[in-house]
Structure 1
Amino acid sequence: MSKHFIDDPTHLVNTALHAITLTNPGVALDAANKIIYRRPGSGLDANNASPQQKVSIISGGGSGHEPSFAAMVGPGLLSAAVAGTIFASPSAEQVRAAIMARVDNSSGVLVTVMNYTGDILNFGVAVEKARAAGVNVEMVVVGDDVGVGQAKAGKVGRRGIAGTVLVHKISGALAAQGYGLAEVAGVARLVAKNLVSVGASLEHVHVPGRAVADEHLQPGEVEIGMGIHNEQGSSREQGVKLPDLVGKMLKQLLDTNDKDRAFLTVNSNEVVLLVNNLGGVSVLEMGGIVAEVVSQLADKYGIRPVRILNGTYMTSLNGLGFSISLLNVVNTDIGGPSMVDLLDYPCEATGWSSPISKLTWEEKNGQTREQDATVEERVRPGGLKMDPESAHAALSAALEAVISVEPEVTRYDTVVGDGDCGIGLKRGAEAVLKHLSSKKLSGDALVDVAHIVPVVEKEMDGTSGALYAIFLNSLVAALRSTGSGEASPKVWAEALKQSCDSLSKYTPARPGDRTLVDALYPFVEVLENTGDVKQAAEAAKSGAEGTKGMKASLGRTVYIGGSGFEEVPDPGAWGLASFFLGMAGISNKKGDEEDWEAV
């Protein structure tokens, strides 16, 4: 039997977003892109002063964490929030629409995102596209969860959870006071750096519209460190009473001798405490939890918070749990308000438990932003020339090579992943081939790459699709900065190197981590040194071969475990190497899968 009043997840998300505009007339909804944004032209800000805000702040993520993020749009907080489906990142196109058409981007935009791969990559694609269009954008990633230690988290780092709302509140207050993008982004990063959080839950949550999972916590069992999407925590324990549970959580937050979790040394005289309801704990019980946390902070650690926030800020649907966040208050070095001053600064958003002012209700503002968020600026020629027929032949051969190795890539990904890598690469390659059949290459390298980018963005999903989208958007920007002349291998190498640098901002993957980067970097390096595409393609092939037996540091393979990595190469690296080999005119077709050992 259903335990939800609304079982249709699409209808649920859409109507919940609409409801925010009903309870706060100061915000509007772009329903097509699931964006809640501040209405333009509101007469006054939350201080009843003339509007000063220059920088717009955008955040977002999967739905199911309400009131984060959509209900935190308003003066003194966010300018816009982008919603995905339940527990899934919004698309890059949704985020791009928010940056380009739903906020004032004339003085810069800060994009704040929690540390989850899908969010970082999709928001990253949008940021790169906005930068390529001339918008000044900074992106801050928040990872405050100590529930998974450094050893297990590895290069992925800490997950983002409820402490993120303190980053929003403080940076939003700074933006509302007229500070510039560099200062707002700098303080946001400083807050994120001084945050630690951990959660605990008595049960997993059920997502409306999905089959009920078999896994449940037993009566009396608690999971410490559970993520906000039901992700595994640090331990499950039976019969733990609240004082012991809070003691274990505070130890993970504050024990500097625990080298696996010593993310932060609380050494200031001021600490902010946030106790967050994950959605299913009664207000009465939350009061008892807060009292226990405050008591133990004083008695065991000598910490008496200067501010204590208790409420529902970031949920896991109706999660039967809570999280504790501590912010180490440090000097912002901007010569203005302190972190505590900014935390106290007035805001107007239903998600911050702040009343909507009489002024906002009475001004009956009905303005919206109606700019067409789907219309792209026409790509201007860049001046880098290439022979269109030769380029078409090489690119087509590369794409055909990717399609031909789909069975191999799928088999490899079935062993070490979820089996969708080969299909994703094939779908992207077929889409680009279809594009080339209907739109001939112009011979201008920048224009031709720019026209391929939206095809890849539309047809390739998942982590690899986002990585390719970031890389190609960066490649367009790099080609634009190169100037005019012949698009020689050396020119391509330099542009590709710049794109690698941009990609490294959004993923910690480096050669040796068993990712597509193991094929990409060798290709770029050899192309730069030799100018020979065939040698570069062979280097990419060697890099992909070298991933066989390499233990993964990133991606789903980290969590799957097992010995599959010893049996097959990384699927993404092998697919990319096949692209380069096809482009260089080198056959990589094998008559039998057993020939792999002879490659």
Structure 2
Amino acid sequence: MFPAAKHFIHDPTHLVTTALLSIPRTNPSVQCDIENKIIYRKNGASQVSIVSGGGSGHEPSFASFVGAGLLSGAVAGTIFASPSAEQVRRCILHRVNKEKGVLVVVMNYTGDVLNFGMAVEKARAAGIEVDMVVVGDDAGVGRAKGGKVGRRGIAGTVLVQKIAGALAAKGASLKDVTRIAQLVADNTVSIGSSLSHVHVPGRREPEEDELKEGEVEIGMGIHNEAGSERKSTDLPGLVKTMLSHCLSTADQDRSFSKITEKDEVVLLVNNLGGVSPLELGGITNEVVEQLSETHKMRPVRVLSGTFMTSLNGLGFSISLLRVADTGLGSSMLELLDAPAEASGWSAAISSGTWAKQGEVKKQEEQTDGEEIQPSNLRVEPALAKSTLVTALNRLISVEPDVTKYDTIVGDGDCGIGLKRGAESILKMLETAKDTDDLLIFLNHIIQVVEVSMDGTSGAIYAIFLNALAHGLRQNSPTSPQPVTPGIWAKALDSSLKALGKYTPAKPGDRTLMDALYPFVETLSKTESIDEAARAAQEGAQGTKGMKASLGRTVYVGGEGFQEVPDPGAHGLAELLLGLSDGMKK
């Protein structure tokens, strides 16, 4: 089963139609000729008109790029299929301003080139001044494989459209707009990769060619076309291969780019539709770092986002544009940065802001000026450290169980959060200076927890530990003495009361309080950490079958809560049992 085979709209014709009808709703400056699947500017300005288009499924390309400063008109086909020559002819003749000529920008696919080309010839025959630029930026197709057809057009096409559109908006002639569009196309190289083929609504796709788990297709086209190779690799390895295909001059079959470290370069990292913005950010950072470290290139512009998709393709593409001299008053960068009133164009950073990227302001190191005041509570440093290490390692070892429980009754992040906090404290212990002052030792832990643990449990731990530090200081003796179970019990009791100001959670609500309260109460009565830890464990196990009244678990349906303990309570109990074990060593 294709991972992307589920859709809200299954009829491909209805899908394309309604998607096109939505565009004027998001941009009132454009209109929709739904019969011919054309999006065009209302009252198009007296300038060279830029017309583009292709099969649907690549949104926001191209229909959502129609607007001031970008395209004048876009013609859509059905999903992954070129529009007809008649559709394109009607766009050129009847939907865009023709006074100063029309430039057609099309990607190098046979159907697009033939249909747009036929429309261009018809328009010329009708006396209209029309030029056409065909973009073939894909380094995934070598010379031998491309043959007479040449390279495919992929996401680098949007750089051609944007720069040409901005130049046309400045009033440049058709000759100049065409020349600069071709210059951008000639200096752009791209490559895409994907973890999966996409599923076209309403179409039965062969499943035998689906990629295996962990396998990536490099050089994959935007219509499910095969790439140049499949391999199992991680993100750094994948980016390394992709950049090599774009920049290496060693492979004569694929050496299309003349980009060197001396050139100014524009980087476009494009989402093929199914990558989350969070993950795309990580991908973009990897690309920028490898360009800098391996290729000694620092892009003067970085565009990262969704510009040309393959429906909801689980992949991305990298495009690199060598900034060349336009020979005009406007540079490629100025034209790229120029504003565009098109709902699909998401690069909104001005030239002025980009110009400041090289500025490094010396910032004085800021400190809050607060130092932890020493206390009279003493601990044996080696014992405190070893006890804590034992407890933290025990907590880390149960992360899979905590995660499993939280996946059943919550959102699955509790175990990872606790493990992250534990690992961060262990790392701190490796470098922190030994101290026999309990409050200084505790403060080191608090600082780590506040930075490394997020979410609800992170906040609860941070509040509780700060309150514990306050309680310990209030119960500190007048002269240096070892901390006693009695002092711990009093401080812990006051910490619980402080925590109650910020959360209404109590035992019985199915939270970590079901483990924390029994621990504190038992320690206060018995002054035995062993008995207190066992009480915490019993409290955590008692949450099985307990219906939550607080926290995210409240919203989660199903009967899973009857079978597993509260993950937060279980994690805390294991930590406390670890402390008990550590004290015995």
Q: TM-score with structure 1 length normalisation?
A: 0.57
For residues 217 and 344 of structure 1, the distance between their equivalents in structure 2, rounded to whole angstroms, comes to: 38
Matches within 5 A, 1:588-599: none
Q: Cα RMSD over matched residues? A: 1.2
Q: Are 2:295 and 1:301 aligned? A: yes
CA distance in 2, matches of 1:216, 1:113: 29
**Structure 2: which amino acid aligns with 1:8?**
D
**Residue 16 of structure 1: aligned partner:** 19
- Structure 2 residue 9 is matched with structure 1 residue 6: yes
1:352-376 deviations in Å (ceiling 9; x for gaps): 0268xxxxxxxxxxxxxxxxxxxxx
Deviation of 1:134 after TM superposition, in Å, equals 0.1
Quick one: higher RCO (CA 8 Å, sep 6+), 1 or 2? 1
Kept in 1: contact 2:267–2:320 (CA 8 A): yes
Q: Distance in 2 between matches of 1:354 and 1:34?
A: 26
Q: Distance in 2 between matches of 1:104 and 1:230?
A: 35
Aligned to 1:156, what secondary structure does the other structure show?
Answer: coil
The answer on 1:270 being equivalent to 2:273 is: no
Correspondence 1:235 to 2:229: yes
2:157 match: 164
Residue-by-residue CA offset, 1:423-466 (whole Å, 9 max, x unaligned) = xxxxxxxxxxxxxxxxxxxxxxxxxxxxxxxxxxxxxxxxxxxx
How many residue pairs match? The answer is: 343
SS at match of 1:352: coil
User: What is the letter of the counterpart of residue 320 of structure 1?
Assistant: L
Q: Is the 8 A contact 1:348 1:354 kept in 2?
A: no
Tell me the equivalent position of 2:144: 151
CA distance in 2, matches of 1:79, 1:277: 24
Structure 1 equivalent of residue 242 of structure 2: 249
* CA deviation vs aligned residue, 1:201-253 (integer Å, no higher than 9, x gap): 00000000101321211111100000000111110012x00000000000000
CA shift digits 1:358-407 (9 cap, x unpaired): xxxxxxxxxxxxxxxxxxxxxxxxxxxxxxxxxxxxxxxxxxxxxxxxxx
Uncovered stretches (5+) of structure 2, i.e. residues with no partner: 349-585
SS at 1:160 equivalent:
coil
Determine the structure 2 residue equivalent to 1:327: 321
1:321 and 1:290 map into 2 onto residues whose CA distance is 12
> After the TM superposition, which parts of structure 1 deviate over 4 Å for at least 4 consecutive aligned residues?
none
Contact 1:347/1:354 (8 A) holds in 2: no
CA distance in 1, matches of 2:23, 2:289: 36
Q: Distance in 2 between matches of 1:88 and 1:354?
A: 27
AA aligned to 2:153 is G
Superposition deviation, residue 90 in structure 1: 0.1
Structure 2 distance, partners of 1:221, 1:104, is: 48
2:65 is equivalent to residue 62 of structure 1: no
- Correspondent of 2:104 among 104, 111, 118: 111
Percent of aligned pairs sharing the same letter:
67
Could you tell me whether the CA contact under 8 Å between 2:85 and 2:116 is conserved in 1? yes
1:158 Cα deviation after fit:
0.5
Taking the aligned partners of 1:149 and 1:187, their CA distance within structure 2 comes to 25
Unpaired segments ≥5 residues, structure 1: 42-50, 356-599
CA distance, structure 2, for counterparts of residue 300 and residue 354 of structure 1 = 26
SS of 1:77's equivalent in the other structure is coil
Residue 338 (structure 2) pairs with residue 345 (structure 1): yes
Mapped pair 1:25 → 2:28: yes
In 2, the alpha carbon distance for the partners of 1:6 and 1:327 equals 37
Q: Secondary structure at the match of 2:344?
A: helix
Aligned to 1:312: 306
Task: Map residues 515-534 of structure 1 onto 2, 5 A cutoff.
Answer: none
Distance 2:47 2:224 in 1: 38
Pairwise mapping of residues 135-534 of structure 1 onto structure 2 (< 5 A)? 135-214=128-207, 215-238=209-232, 240-267=233-260, 268-333=262-327, 335-353=328-346
Alignment partner of 2:217: what SS?
Answer: strand
Which residue in the other structure is 1:92 paired with? Answer: 85
Q: Which amino acid aligns with 1:177?
A: K
State the alpha-carbon separation in 1 of the partners of residues 205 and 115 from structure 2: 28
Q: CA deviation at 1:269?
A: 2.7
1:131 lines up with 2:134 in the alignment: no
Taking the TM superposition and a 5 Å limit, the aligned residue runs for 1:70-81 are: 70-81=63-74
**Cα distance in structure 1, aligned partners of 2:85 and 2:329:** 35
Cα pair 2:303 2:347 within 8 Å, conserved = no
Which residue is equivalent to 2:510? none
